[in-house]
Structure 1
Amino acid sequence: MRVVAISRILDEADIIEAFLRHTAAYADHHVILDNGSRDGTLEIIRALKDEGLNLTVFQNIAVSINERAFNTLMYYHAAAELQADWVLCLDADEFIDDRGVQDGLRVALDHTMREAPHRLCLALPYFDYVRGAQEIADEPIVPVRMPVRRTRANRLRKVFVRAPLDDAVISNGNHGLMLRGTWLPAQGLPGLRLAHYPHRSLYQMAAKSAKGWAKIQAAGPAEITRGTSRHYRPLFEGLRDAPQTHLLDARPAPARDDPRLVADPITYRGGPLRYTADTDERMRAIRGMMGYLDDLTARYGRLIETCPEARAMNDAWNRDVTRLM
């Protein structure tokens, strides 16, 4: 049995090394598609590849959302080029947690493949781990630093998918599998889940939300209407309209006795870190947002330079004057 992980990434320097080392304990190979990282993420990945981790890295600098196409492209690369039997669809802030699986993930996947060949994908619940409550200051390994999770799983699930499958499509966010135009129901595997670390610092979350919602807006009004990644919108608009509220005011840490939280550290399987620097999160956030702004404006300039209709529309917008007072 051959297991391959696939991941899209963008500016994940604080977590990427721990994520790749941990996932390597479960997967034979990891396919990565970088969307234009500027914060040192690629340098860390290059060092890990030089060290011997089995990594394939692509890059597509997308200034608008195109997750489904990227996820599906990586799936077919894993299936066709790497002969995957299972493809683990993971974001860089999601860590496999198989403590509740007898004999571990790989044995369970092998058993499922042999004993239930009709099960083409598994749906994993994922739990958000939070900052503040019992957080271990100065610990560079994020899953070790943040041992407290929320008691309820997220409403959506993430999928691990059998391979090879013809006409398969992996959804935005890795939340589902479409096969020949139909979304497949997916069952879970008892005890298997993901630990999710989306909010690791105020500045990391601010930059993530700013880039995330900007990509939705750059994709056009239809994407906004569909509700794609709408969870980024409130923080994006808050940063736009009142950044001091989100970046200067200290947020209270969750109470230790909050019934919605439980100390439940995962078993981190990646070993020590070698390449993750102690980075100023404010400067890392600025680098990431400026990198995205650079890519976005460069694409915009090329568009109006090469498309007369876009040039005419841009000129019309630039001439538009509205009296405010």
Structure 2
Amino acid sequence: MRVASISLVKNEADIIECFVRHNLAFVDKMFIIDDRSSDATPEILRLLRDEFPNLEIIDDQWRGGIAQGQRTTWLLQHALKEQDWDIVTALDADEFIAATSRQEFEEDLAAIPYGMAGGFFETCYVVSPDDDPAIVDPLERLHAQIDRNAPVPFKAIVTRALSRNGNVSYDPGNHGVCFEGKSVAVWPLPRVRLAHFPIRSAEHAVVKALTHYVGWKSCHRFTPDLALHVMRCIDILKRQPEFSIAQREELIAQFIPEMAVCARVERRFLERRGTMKWPELAQRQPFALVVGLLDELIGRVTFGDQLALIGSTGWSESDRLRTLMAEHHALQNELTDLRRSRSKLAAAFAQVLRDKMARKFRKRRLRIQTFLARCRGAGG
């Protein structure tokens, strides 16, 4: 059985090495998009790629806001172009296949009924008051778990029977998959679960809240109800009188609400594979990550200023560039409306439109960058 994993990661330096080393014991190839990380994630991934030829690091050239489902779907199609995989599973950098062996994993996967997606139930590892902060490795430091006892699987798995058609997509959170716009029924794996390490410390919760806040607020489809827990985190941070976190438990509970009602159970991650080689690169630097977020915002503001400057200086190509950006926004809005439609025809047209946009902006991106560079040179 040939198994691949696909991942979209950002600022995961403390766990990304563990993630790759462990999951490569259960999949044949990993496809990872690094989403403009500002910590040591890119450096760690480069070192891992030198060590593991079955790790592919991809730049999908995305520079917009949150579009997790669309980008993971694109990554799925990228993986399928390389090989007709039997199984493709989407994994976040904090998720680890918890199986006693590769054979056990394959036996569970082989039992997925035809036409259904597979599904992992979750084992959630959480922060405890007695965690030793001197332990860099989060899989060693976090030693307690809670059972979320969810009625449905936590994460869906794409089978070969589903991927052959090409109309399979991920939902916005990557937890479910759709076929021709409709949710696919999920068959839970009976033995193999996903070990999940969503929050590794209060500092991690702060950075995660800020990162998600920037991503959601800059997304064209943002509404507060799409990210309530993130907005609550930001409200908690706004109330802090100093650069410190007085409400650590309350902040973490926004990401893991069950912590308030479920008892922590002592159980280390016994299925763990591999050990860290570069713990010095896994050290978190929260202010560096915040500066990275500011750089991302500055880049977007600068681009807007460049457009305004082009218009004010009378460049002959300014109208064409503004038309291009207006066309991009119009297509994005049309695509959003089509995704909300339940019509099969609308869903098919949305796929065609999405492919058209990707091809068009790949061709024009270099021209835009060259044009803006020329404008900056002229302004200097």
Q: So what's the TM-score if we normalise by structure 1? A: 0.82
Q: What SS does the aligned partner of 1:233 have?
A: helix
Counterpart Cα distance in 2 of 1:218 and 1:77: 26
Structure 1 residue runs without a partner (length 5+)? 311-325
Equivalent residues of 2:8, 2:34 under 8 A apart: yes
Which one of 120, 126, 129 corresponds to residue 130 of structure 1? 126
Q: Give yes or no for the alignment of 1:84 onto 2:85.
A: yes
Distance 1:276 1:243, change over 3 A: farther
Counterpart Cα distance in 1 of 2:243 and 2:300: 32
Counterpart Cα distance in 2 of 1:135 and 1:198: 15
- Alignment-derived partner of residue 25 in structure 1: 25
Counterpart Cα distance in 2 of 1:243 and 1:231: 21
Equivalent residues of 2:108, 2:190 under 8 A apart: no
Which one of 147, 152, 155 corresponds to residue 148 of structure 2? 152
TM-superposition CA deviations, 1:1-44 (whole Å, max 9, x none): 21111111000000000011011011111011111101111111
Counterpart Cα distance in 2 of 1:102 and 1:135: 30
**How far has the Cα of 1:248 moved from its partner?**
4.9
**How far has the Cα of 1:285 moved from its partner?**
1.6
Distance 1:240 1:103, change over 3 A: same
Q: What SS does the aligned partner of 2:187 have?
A: coil
Identity %: 26
Q: What SS does the aligned partner of 1:172 have?
A: coil
**How far has the Cα of 1:82 moved from its partner?**
3.4
**How far has the Cα of 1:270 moved from its partner?**
2.7
Counterpart Cα distance in 1 of 2:151 and 2:48: 34
Which structure has greater helix proportion? 2
Q: Give yes or no for the alignment of 1:216 onto 2:219.
A: no
- Alignment-derived partner of residue 201 in structure 2: 201
Equivalent residues of 1:64, 1:215 under 8 A apart: yes
- Alignment-derived partner of residue 280 in structure 2: 277
Equivalent residues of 2:24, 2:30 under 8 A apart: yes
In the comparison of the two structures, how many residue pairs are matched? 299
- Alignment-derived partner of residue 232 in structure 1: 230
**How far has the Cα of 1:133 moved from its partner?**
5.1
- Alignment-derived partner of residue 357 in structure 2: none
Counterpart Cα distance in 1 of 2:199 and 2:213: 16
Q: Give yes or no for the alignment of 1:112 onto 2:108.
A: no
Counterpart Cα distance in 2 of 1:246 and 1:232: 18
- Alignment-derived partner of residue 247 in structure 1: 245
Counterpart Cα distance in 2 of 1:267 and 1:37: 30
Distance 1:152 1:74, change over 3 A: same
Equivalent residues of 1:144, 1:268 under 8 A apart: no
Q: What SS does the aligned partner of 1:247 have?
A: coil
Which structure 2 residues correspond to residues 287-302 of structure 1 after superposition, within 5 A?
Answer: 287-302=288-303
Distance 1:86 1:105, change over 3 A: same
Q: What SS does the aligned partner of 2:73 have?
A: helix
RMSD over aligned CA atoms reads 2.9
**How far has the Cα of 1:140 moved from its partner?**
3.1
TM-superposition CA deviations, 1:160-189 (whole Å, max 9, x none): 111334111111221111111111121211
Distance 1:19 1:153, change over 3 A: farther
TM-superposition CA deviations, 1:260-306 (whole Å, max 9, x none): 2212222343322112316653xx22212211221222123213432
Structure 2 residue runs without a partner (length 5+)? 254-260, 312-321, 324-380
Larger radius of gyration: 2
- Alignment-derived partner of residue 74 in structure 1: 75
**How far has the Cα of 1:96 moved from its partner?**
1.3
Q: What SS does the aligned partner of 1:191 have?
A: strand
Counterpart Cα distance in 2 of 1:77 and 1:141: 32
Distance 1:58 1:301, change over 3 A: same
Counterpart Cα distance in 2 of 1:139 and 1:266: 15
Which structure 2 residues correspond to residues 170-209 of structure 1 after superposition, within 5 A?
Answer: 170-209=170-209
Which is worse superposed, 230-239 or 84-93?
230-239
Counterpart Cα distance in 1 of 2:63 and 2:72: 13
- Alignment-derived partner of residue 316 in structure 1: none
Equivalent residues of 1:127, 1:153 under 8 A apart: no
- Alignment-derived partner of residue 169 in structure 1: 169
Q: So what's the TM-score if we normalise by structure 2? A: 0.71
